[in-house]
Each structure stands twice: as structure tokens, then as C-alpha cells.
A and B are shown apart, each in its own frame.
Chain A
């Protein structure tokens, strides 16, 4: 029998959290607060406290306050966002817990925007929307990391964990390596949480840190993925800078001057896949380029005023976020320069963000495998909480609040499990096989570069006609391209440890694309962000179902299950 110590550097912990972004940190803090005797180790591919998406977004958190109605929120969500694929019980749990979750997070961070009396500075994104948003400064995770260290949480930075280790059917740790020196790390754990974010397919820059490794590792270990077909997230981008123009979908025009946004309503809470489809149709009809008129864009104008401190400058209700202003100020200055100045009309293209988040979890954030949990963007759609939409579910600020809420719930659940079970030994042959597969590209002197793999996946994924405006014929073409890329994976070669990590990311993106197309082909209807040209109608008779996929003996196995809609308070009809 092979001793694990011969394969790598072995570390033991009660609770292993893979990923040190906002959700992983929240899970670690919640675990330590509720189970002080449970040892927590956070392993992060970059540097925890700075890693992940949270500190590069808008710094907006949604919540339901005391004057918001949970039932009204669920009803609005089903009718206007998740198209009745929501797990309404989990969504209600979330809605009731949002305010307490962000308040608890702020007890670690201290970066939420408050008035002098300590109350949160909150408003509605649009008056009609039944929830509130508040702001946080973008360096919000730095104090949490410091507090986590003082709470006894251990950290391992610049280490990527590529595979989950098992003892029978139970996950008992993970294997990976240092990006700095290639040291193979084997972490033994009573419970493991995947907090690696989703998969944004390395396309839009500000979200490009998410590369799907957590879901891919879970899939290879035998866990189910769910709702994979509800992606990709899309925003309209400035064609030059590739930066999102908030609200562009409300004021789009074609080259003939036709207004293209008549389908938008006040109930459209945020961006919509249909904007990308309108763009695609107009381009194919020869009516491009498509532009947006910035002075008519209410959301953009309001955002600019806010970013430049022109709105409510002297008001106590202004969100004061010095780091946010510095961060976005630098980016806005550069993008305006790239555009040759601030222009009244901007050409737009769909930005296919990805945001695949399919690890299936139950209400305690447990996956379908014992010992394995997932939180945040790793399982946002896999939880079924938000229904037929990708992360962040057409609610500005739900990404951060969702990550915090799921982090707290998953951290407490996993800590409770870890406190009750004994440490187990990873299966040595499986550990050895995972190590061999992970390290194989570093041993090849020549082969396929991981960047070539990623670009080949992009060709099969990024065209709007493949991934956003779907049809059987086009998806089969795209899936064929993905499977061809998949066949090249055994030839990947990595010149160093950074690129060995890139190889693992590339194989994860290939899997994301494969399960996305396989499940999209299975769902023969249109619903939410899953829009098929050949099945344009929503089918509530045949498709109030969740689709799951898992690896079974090396082959993908797709299953469906009926949503317990009769048990839920909100049902289709009466929209």
C-alpha cells in the first residue's frame, strides 16, 4: 500500500474550505463561531482576502428588510425571474435570512454603508422591486481575512486543489499543488466545502477568476450537477473596452435607427438574455451595428452620478466607499480614454459572462456526496434557489448576499458534520491516480498549450447562436466541437506550475461546456435564460422539472425530477 506521505505533503484539518473569497471566508467564520473546536483550513489559489469576484464588482448587496414582504418577493421572483423552477422553500429561507446574514458579515468586515446612527443606507434598485440594496466598500474581505486569522482559521495561499479524495463514497479531503513551487499537497479533512466560485470561462475580465474547477472536481468525484442549462449570464458591453454598460439593454437601436428595447418593462429587474438575442437577430438581418444612446440610459446616468459623487453629495444617505471610488475611478478613466472620450452613442455587443454554478446542494448546502458541501457561485443554480437564471439571477446584489448567506449556512452545516465524524484515510490508489492526472502536463516537453484549449472552447461557446440563442442543430455542432477539444486534453503540456494550474482550469472549462450543451439539448422548451429557437414556448405541462447530470462509469448520466410545485405557494398562471 502506498503511503500518502510518499505522494505529497500531507496536512489534516477538520474542515477544509477550497476557495478564500467571500463565501469561503463567511463559511470559515460561521463554522468557528458555532463550533469553536472545529479546525478550519482555507486553501486559496491566489491570496485569500483579495481573491474571487466580490472585491471587483459593484459592491452591492440585496436584502429584504422589515418592511419587505417575503411572500410578495417569492411571487415576483417566480413570475419575473426564475420562471417557476425555484426551490421556493429554499428561496424563502434565503429571503428571510438576507438581512441577518449581511449584518453578521459586517460584524467581521465593517464595510457596509451606514448612517451616523448605525442604520444601513438602503434603497430599492427600482421602485417596483420588492427588495432593498445596500453598498459595501470593495476592500471588504481584507478585514475578514485578518479577523479569520485571529479566530484561529488557518490559510494556505497560492495552492490550487484539483481533485477531491474519497474513502468509499465519502469525500475526505483534496489534492493539489503549489503554484509557486509545485509541491503536491494532500489535505485530509472530515468535511470539505467547495467555495471556488462558478465558471465564467475566462471571458469577461472582471469575472475571469472563476474557472469551474470546483464543479469539475465534484463531478469527477461523482457528485450531481443541476440546472447546468441555465447559463450563460450576459451583459451588453462597450465594443471597444468590453466593459458592461449598465442599462444598455433598455435603450438599444439598430443602424436604421429602430428602437430595439420595446420589450423591456419596469419588472425587468436587470439584464436579460433576450437583449443578446435581439442583437443577434438584428446583426444576422444586416441591421448592425447595434448601439445604445447613453444620455437616454437612466440607469447609466444615475450610476455615473453616483460614481462621481454628483448624486446626493451632501446627503447622509450617500454610500461613502473610498476604495470603491478609487477602483472604479481608475477603470472608468481608462475605458473612457479608450473610447476617445465620453460619447453619446456607444456600439454594444453581448458579453457572454458564463457564470455557470451547477453543483447540486440541498438546503444545508450539502452535495450529493457525504462529506462534501458547496457554497456561493459554485452552487448558485445547482441549489435551485433562483430557478431558471444564471448567477446572479437578475437581482443586482444577490451575488454577494447569496454568497454570504450560503457561506454561513454551509459553514455551519459542514462544521456540525465535521464535529460528529472521525477522520478517514483517503483511498491511496485513487489519490495516486489523481496526482498522476493532475501533474501529467508538466512532464510533457511538447503538446497542446492550455490557452489553445481555452480558445478552442470559446469558439464553441461564445458565439451567441450557440450558447444564448439555442437550437438543436447549432448545439449539436457546438457540442461536437467541445468533444473534439476534450480529446486533445491528454496532450496538454504545461511549461510551469502557473500553466499546470491553467491546464486544470482548461479541462474544467471543457467539462462546463459539455454539461451545458448536453443538458440544454435535453430541455426541449424555452424558460428563463434557456432560450431555444426550435422550442420557443415555455412548457409548464412537461418541463416543471430539474435536470441533473453526473458521471457514471465515465459517461454523463442525465436525470430529471418533477419540481414539487403542488407543495409550493406560487404556481404558474395568473401572470
Chain B
């Protein structure tokens, strides 16, 4: 899965990352006023949190080998040049 690194010591608590995510990856810690990366398995690597962060303290590290659905039915065997299946992961 993708990894979302936040350098919390540089975070200003502006909530941009929390607001910008369109697939509900973040939660907001009201006590510390800092983001929590709650559901990284749902990250769609749009990088919106990274590019909207005014402190530039978020980095989305993309797992390019993560799950991707099959292009052929299971009944179809391996084909020459068939792309490798991605890893399946269920939280």
C-alpha cells in the first residue's frame, strides 16, 4: 500500500490535507490538532494532500506494485506478455 509520511514537527495544523483527500484517508486529532493517516490502504496517490500542504511536510510514497484487478478471467492461463497480477491486500 502507499505510505503517507507527515513530518508532524513541521505541520502547522491547517487541516489542508484532511480537507483535500477525496477518499477519506485522514482523520483529525482534535487534541493535538494534527492529521492522522487512518486509512492509507485507500490512498489513490492523487498527491492532493502533498501538493496542498503549505508547509510541504507531506510525502506520498507510491507502492506501484499494489493490487490491481485482473485483465483476464481466471480460466485464461498465462499469456505471452501478460502483465503480472498485482498483489491483493485486504486490511
Q: Are B22 and A327 in contact (CB under 8 A)?
A: no
Q: Are B62 and A338 in contact (CB under 8 A)?
A: yes
> What CA separation (Å) do A158 and B24 show in the bound complex?
8
Number of interface residues of A (CB under 8 A): 56
Q: Are B79 and A288 in contact (CB under 8 A)?
A: yes
Number of A-B contacts (CB under 8 A): 117
Q: Are A56 and B73 in contact (CB under 8 A)?
A: no
Q: Are B47 and A327 in contact (CB under 8 A)?
A: yes
Q: Are B44 and A286 in contact (CB under 8 A)?
A: no
> What CA separation (Å) do A458 and B70 show in the bound complex?
7
A residues 159-186 near B (Cβ < 8 Å) are 179-180
Q: Using an 8 Å CB-CB cutoff, how does the interface string of B43-74 with A read, 1 for contact, 0 for none?
A: 01111101100000000001010011111111
Beyond the given pairs A49-B19, A352-B69, 4 more chain A to chain B contacts, judged by CB atoms under 8 angstroms and listed by A's residue number, are A289-B83, A451-B91, A466-B73, A501-B24
- Quote the shortest CB–CB distance from B73 to chain A (angstroms): 5
Cβ contact of A449, chosen from B45, B48, B91, cutoff 8 A? B91
Complex contacts, B50 vs chain A, CB 8 Å: 330
- Quote the shortest CB–CB distance from A322 to chain B (angstroms): 11
Complex contacts, B62 vs chain A, CB 8 Å: 334, 338
Q: Are B22 and A51 in contact (CB under 8 A)?
A: yes
- Known pairs A46-B23, A242-B68, A463-B70; A349 contacts B46 (CB<8 A): no
Complex contacts, A350 vs chain B, CB 8 Å: 71
> What CA separation (Å) do A306 and B20 show in the bound complex?
25
* 8 A-B pairs with least C-beta separation: A288-B81, A289-B81, A458-B69, A462-B69, A205-B44, A47-B19, A209-B22, A330-B47
> What CA separation (Å) do A327 and B50 show in the bound complex?
9
A residues 343-374 near B (Cβ < 8 Å) are 347, 349-350, 352
> What CA separation (Å) do A455 and B83 show in the bound complex?
18
Q: Are B51 and A50 in contact (CB under 8 A)?
A: no
Q: Are B47 and A334 in contact (CB under 8 A)?
A: yes
Q: Are A239 and B46 in contact (CB under 8 A)?
A: no
- Known pairs A288-B81, A326-B51; A455 contacts B69 (CB<8 A): yes
Cβ contact of A331, chosen from B47, B74, B80, cutoff 8 A? B47
Q: Using an 8 Å CB-CB cutoff, how does the interface string of B1-30 with A read, 1 for contact, 0 for none?
A: 000000000000000001111111001000
A498: Cβ under 8 A from any B Cβ: yes
- Quote the shortest CB–CB distance from B71 to chain A (angstroms): 6
Complex contacts, B91 vs chain A, CB 8 Å: 449, 451
- Known pairs A288-B81, A327-B48, A455-B88; A46 contacts B21 (CB<8 A): yes
